[in-house]
């Protein structure tokens, strides 16, 4: 049974996601349709790219990812199918959304979608349903995509911002604030100095003090802030039983400067 | 594998939707359960009817739709099964919710549900689980509904409001505001004059100016309003990268007067 | 086809739920994954325990429930598998969350999970994915859990608060406020005096007046409050077409004193 995982900014209020699924089911019914999220920040390609890269790692290797955060829908941006060496495949718009996840799996072949050859009616604003769902349906039902797909090399290579790591000082960025207000940075656990007890933290010019680095939320008292490595594998700023985003007024995109005693692991 | 599509106003916070699914799964397990939406406006039968009509078109023809927006639950309103000529079937309360969608598919036979013959315990407030899910379960598992269903002709025929189309002037109504703030009217694309570049727009007595008619969101500058035909096939008022509903303080039910140079397609 | 029902406080914005499902699908693909709710109050074990107990009753008897509301994740709290006499099984943290539901089904055997024997990489903060999903995957795919599970008797026995029932007076508690603002108490329908027409109600020291006990919402005029037994089987305070929670400023945990003429059913 094939697995199709969906990531969009379509939201849960509307019927858009169900229409995407309805098209896929017209090609094949015994399929596991898994929602990654449909509530990523509207049109926020960077945040969605981060969420996709984190989530896609956990899926089985033959999963097809249908991804739509698509501010340019209807314009000349192309649609893509990306095959990776792990076997995972990504279908969605060419705006960088899928690139960080695909790169992690090893980009093997990128094709653009020739919508004219799909032989379906295509609206100007809903390519998730009218283009990408058809391509996914054909892929999982063994239908030949024939000349719908054309090798393509000029695709958008979106790089997630990297932390700036120096001796005693890291500048990192909040890439995602989760439902709990946990503020997830772009500093991977492999980039955190060993045996560190705390960071001194500056956020947007404010010194917000010394915050311990712990292993789990309840390692500090309720209401106290902490750093820890979350399920994503990245450093996050949290508050035990509370919201770091509310407490420190953090939103995705904000920069943190962390200073500490010692050397970074990469030096 | 049968497909059951669900539309309710039960929301995602509570467990109600899962209980509806649990009952269906007691009849048959290999079924695709697809959520259309559970976040339509509470008790808003008109909005839900519009969302259902738009979404149901995309589904395969043997889909069973279980629909519950049901302010009259527990009162004397009946439950219905509507069979259509396309093959799609609709199960839910007799309050008009399913009528516009069923009419689009061609109403073939309407039956009322005799809850007394279902032989299940029925709460006064949760017919989605206690009545409609059982009926759907029996339908998809090939169980005879026997005399549970009775032909019925006095069902509610809800008509979605139609636009008033005159020479140079259309009065239409916002039927749904989506997650993006796109404000979807009841003016179908077939009713839009050809070769039109813009509309002059009055909203609730205010002149909100001249707004271009475009093919996709990014055809105008970020932050600029536009009209376009969305994935629903209806004219919508949008703001590129923003929210038309916020910008113009629009909500479902609001009326728009559009004036333009030329003749409507129907004259 | 096995059924796995999921209840968490992970929310719909993030990809956490999808990662839990992705792990389960690595063990077995033909499985019905049903979301009970992922929006219960953050870290609110009591509310989640109530929602779980209400919802789990409706599911088929071989359902496996994966439950995560887990403020103590990463600390020394154990993970549990609870087998019940009905056949339903519960997998999640040992904080009482699953106890009221399991007790209702008849607790048969409780085991703790020895995470060291799972042979998987385990984060400190995401046991839903790294521990419980693996255990569920092994259970539904027939893999032996061998010595991963150890009989355990010192588990947390969370009791949902019980109403205090006296002659002419009941003190009860709001356990859950649903999407509609219906405020669900812990007074079961079997504990409501027969033939009662109304309650006189005190809420947090305020007398909020005499409120009728009805059978369905539209039994009172729109905007009027009422008591009724909802789909959960418990007494709830509602407003026809409105929100009792907004009207009376109620939240989960609030206490209601109901006085009436007559004797309670238990005396």
Identify from B120, B125, B126 which residue to disrupt to test chain C contact, counting C C-beta atoms within 10 A and taking the largest count.
Answer: B125
Beta carbons within 10 angstroms of residue A159's beta carbon: 11
Pairing between β-strand A198-203 and β-strand B32-37 as defined by DSSP bridges:
unpaired
Domain shared by A130 and A179, yes or no: no
Domain shared by A195 and A127, yes or no: no
Would the pLDDT of C12 be above 80?
no
Please tell me the distance from the alpha carbon of residue A62 to that of residue C124, in angstroms, as a whole number: 28
Please tell me the distance from the alpha carbon of residue A183 to that of residue A151, in angstroms, as a whole number: 38
Q: CATH code at C77?
A: 3.40.50.10790
**DSSP bridge partners of C89:** C64, C83
Q: Is residue C156 part of a domain?
A: no
Which pLDDT does position C68 carry in this prediction? 96
Q: Which two tokens stand for residue B260?
A: 């333009």
Domain shared by C50 and C131, yes or no: yes
Would the pLDDT of C136 be above 80?
yes
**DSSP bridge partners of C205:** none
Which pLDDT does position A267 carry in this prediction? 43
Is the CB of C75 less than 8 angstroms away from the CB of A12? no
User: How far, in Å, are A111, C78, C128, C130, C194 from residue C115 at the CA level?
Assistant: 43, 9, 12, 9, 51
Q: Is residue A265 part of a domain?
A: no
Q: Is residue B141 part of a domain?
A: yes
Q: Is residue A266 part of a domain?
A: no
Query: How far is CA B64 from its chain centroid?
Result: 15
3-class secondary-structure state, position B204: coil
Whole-angstrom Cα Rg for chain B: 20
**DSSP bridge partners of C202:** C207, C257
Beta carbons within 10 angstroms of residue A73's beta carbon: 23
Domain shared by A26 and A145, yes or no: yes
- Collect all residues of chain A within an 8 Å Cβ-Cβ radius of residue B229: 123-125
Please tell me the distance from the alpha carbon of residue B199 to that of residue A122, in angstroms, as a whole number: 24
Q: Is residue C66 part of a domain?
A: yes
Which pLDDT does position B267 carry in this prediction? 43
Would the pLDDT of C134 be above 70?
yes
Nearby residues of A40 by Cβ (< 8 Å), 6 or more positions away = A7, A8, A9, A47, A48, A51, A69, C13
Is the CB of B29 less than 8 angstroms away from the CB of C34? no
Q: Is residue C102 part of a domain?
A: yes
The CA-based dihedral angle spanning residues B254, B257, B263, B267, taken in that order and rounded to the nearest 10 degrees: 50
Of all residues in chain B, the one with the smallest CA distance to C219 is B75
Q: Is residue C231 part of a domain?
A: yes
Which pLDDT does position C159 carry in this prediction? 92
Q: For every one of its 267 residues, what pLDDT tens digit does chain B have, with 9 covering 90 and above?
A: 999 999 999 987 789 999 999 999 999 999 999 999 998 878 889 999 999 999 999 999 999 999 999 888 777 889 999 999 999 999 999 999 999 999 999 999 999 999 999 988 888 789 999 999 999 999 999 999 989 999 999 999 999 999 999 889 999 999 999 888 999 999 999 999 888 889 999 998 899 999 999 988 888 999 999 999 988 889 999 999 899 999 999 998 899 999 998 666 654
Nearby residues of B159 by Cβ (< 8 Å), 6 or more positions away = B100
Please tell me the distance from the alpha carbon of residue B123 to that of residue C104, in angstroms, as a whole number: 20
Neighbours of chain B (3+ CB pairs under 8 A): A, C
Which pLDDT does position C267 carry in this prediction? 43
Domain shared by A172 and A200, yes or no: yes
Tell me, what DSSP letter sits at residue A220?
S
Q: Which two tokens stand for residue C120?
A: 């998987």
Domain shared by C48 and C137, yes or no: yes
Query: Which position has the token pair 């919201």?
Result: A243
- Collect all residues of chain C within an 8 Å Cβ-Cβ radius of residue B29: 1, 3, 32
Domain shared by C179 and C64, yes or no: no
Q: Which two tokens stand for residue B219?
A: 């055809």
- Collect all residues of chain B within an 8 Å Cβ-Cβ radius of residue A125: 216-217, 228-231
Query: Which of B97, B125, B151 is where one domain is finished?
Result: B151
Q: Which two tokens stand for residue B84?
A: 């259509």
What are the helix (H) ranges across B141-261? 244-248
From B111's Cα to the closest Cα of chain A, the distance in A is 26
What are the helix (H) ranges across A162-239? none
Position C263 confidence tier, pLDDT thresholds 50, 70, 90: low
Q: Is residue A157 part of a domain?
A: no
Position C74 confidence tier, pLDDT thresholds 50, 70, 90: confident
Please tell me the distance from the alpha carbon of residue C101 to that of residue C84, in angstroms, as a whole number: 10
Domain shared by B40 and B142, yes or no: yes
Query: Which of A151, A176, A195 is where one domain is finished?
Result: A151
Task: Kindly report, residue by residue over C24-66, the tens digit of the pLDDT.
Answer: 999 999 999 999 999 887 888 999 999 999 999 999 999 999 9
Please tell me the distance from the alpha carbon of residue C9 to that of residue C18, in angstroms, as a whole number: 13
Domain count, chain A: 2
From A150's Cα to the closest Cα of chain C, the distance in A is 30
Domain shared by C50 and C113, yes or no: yes
**SS percent in chain B: helix, strand, coil, step 5:** 25, 35, 45
Nearby residues of B23 by Cβ (< 8 Å), 6 or more positions away = B129, B130, B133, B134, B137, C58
Which pLDDT does position C265 carry in this prediction? 60
Which residues of chain A are under the pLDDT cut of 70?
262-267
Listed residue (C179, C24, C163, C25) closest to C91, CA to CA: C24
Query: Which of B151, B176, B194 is where one domain is finished?
Result: B151
| Count of residues in chain B | 267
Would the pLDDT of C266 be above 90?
no
Domain shared by A127 and A196, yes or no: no
Please tell me the distance from the alpha carbon of residue C104 to that of residue A161, in angstroms, as a whole number: 51
Please tell me the distance from the alpha carbon of residue A125 to that of residue C100, in angstroms, as a whole number: 48
Which H/E stretch holds residue B47? helix B45-56
Which pLDDT does position C186 carry in this prediction? 94
Domain span at residue B111 reads: 3-151
Domain shared by C137 and C168, yes or no: no
Beta carbons within 10 angstroms of residue B110's beta carbon: 21
Is the CB of B22 less than 8 angstroms away from the CB of C63? yes
Listed residue (A27, A12, A10) closest to A68, CA to CA: A10
Please tell me the distance from the alpha carbon of residue B55 to that of residue B60, in angstroms, as a whole number: 11
From A211's Cα to the closest Cα of chain B, the distance in A is 33
Task: Kindly report, residue by residue over C176-191, the tens digit of the pLDDT.
Answer: 998 889 999 999 999 9
Which pLDDT does position A204 carry in this prediction? 86
Position C194 confidence tier, pLDDT thresholds 50, 70, 90: confident
* φ/ψ (deg, to 5) at B176: -160, 135
Kindly write down the DSSP assignment for every residue of B177-193, as one continuous string. E-TT--EEEEEEGGGSP
* φ/ψ (deg, to 5) at B261: -90, 125
Q: What ipTM does this complex have?
A: 0.93
- Collect all residues of chain B within an 8 Å Cβ-Cβ radius of residue A31: 32
User: How far, in Å, are A93, B240, C57, C148, C251 from residue C140 at the CA level?
Assistant: 36, 47, 20, 15, 38
Q: CATH code at A169?
A: 2.40.30.90
| Contact between residue C79 and residue C32 where contact means Cβ atoms under 8 Å apart | no
Of all residues in chain A, the one with the smallest CA distance to B214 is A124
Residue A117, CA atoms < 13 Å, CB-side half-sphere: 13
Pairing between β-strand A64-68 and β-strand A89-93 as defined by DSSP bridges:
parallel
Domain shared by C38 and C137, yes or no: yes
Q: Which two tokens stand for residue A90?
A: 């990504």
Which pLDDT does position B142 carry in this prediction? 94
Which pLDDT does position C195 carry in this prediction? 81
């Amino acid at each position: 049974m094939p697995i199709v995982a969906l990531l969009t900014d379509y939201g849960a209020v509307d019927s858009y996601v169900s229409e995407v699924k309805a098209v896929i089911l017209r090609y094949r019914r015994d399929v596991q349709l898994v929602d990654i999220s449909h509530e990523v920040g509207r049109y926020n390609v960077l945040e969605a790219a981060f969420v996709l890269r984190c989530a896609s790692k956990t899926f089985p290797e033959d999963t097809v990812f249908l991804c739509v955060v698509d501010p340019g829908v209807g314009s000349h941006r192309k649609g893509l199918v990306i095959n990776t060496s792990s076997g995972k495949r990504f279908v969605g718009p060419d705006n960088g959304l899928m690139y960080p996840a695909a790169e992690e799996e090893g980009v093997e072949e990128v094709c653009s979608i020739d919508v004219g050859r799909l032989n379906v009616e295509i609206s100007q604003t809903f390519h998730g349903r009218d283009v990408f769902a058809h391509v996914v349906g054909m892929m999982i039902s063994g239908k030949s995509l024939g000349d719908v797909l054309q090798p393509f090399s000029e695709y958008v290579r979106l790089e997630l911002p990297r932390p700036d790591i120096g001796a005693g000082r890291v500048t990192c960025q909040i890439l995602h604030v989760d439902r709990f207000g946990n503020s997830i940075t772009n500093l991977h656990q492999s980039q955190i100095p060993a045996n560190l007890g705390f960071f001194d933290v500056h956020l947007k010019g404010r010194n917000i003090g010394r915050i311990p680095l712990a292993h789990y939320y309840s390692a500090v008292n309720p209401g106290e802030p902490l750093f820890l490595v979350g399920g994503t594998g990245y450093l996050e700023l949290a508050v035990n039983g509370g919201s770091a985003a509310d407490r420190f007024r953090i939103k995705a995109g904000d920069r943190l400067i962390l200073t500490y005693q010692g050397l970074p692991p990469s030096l």
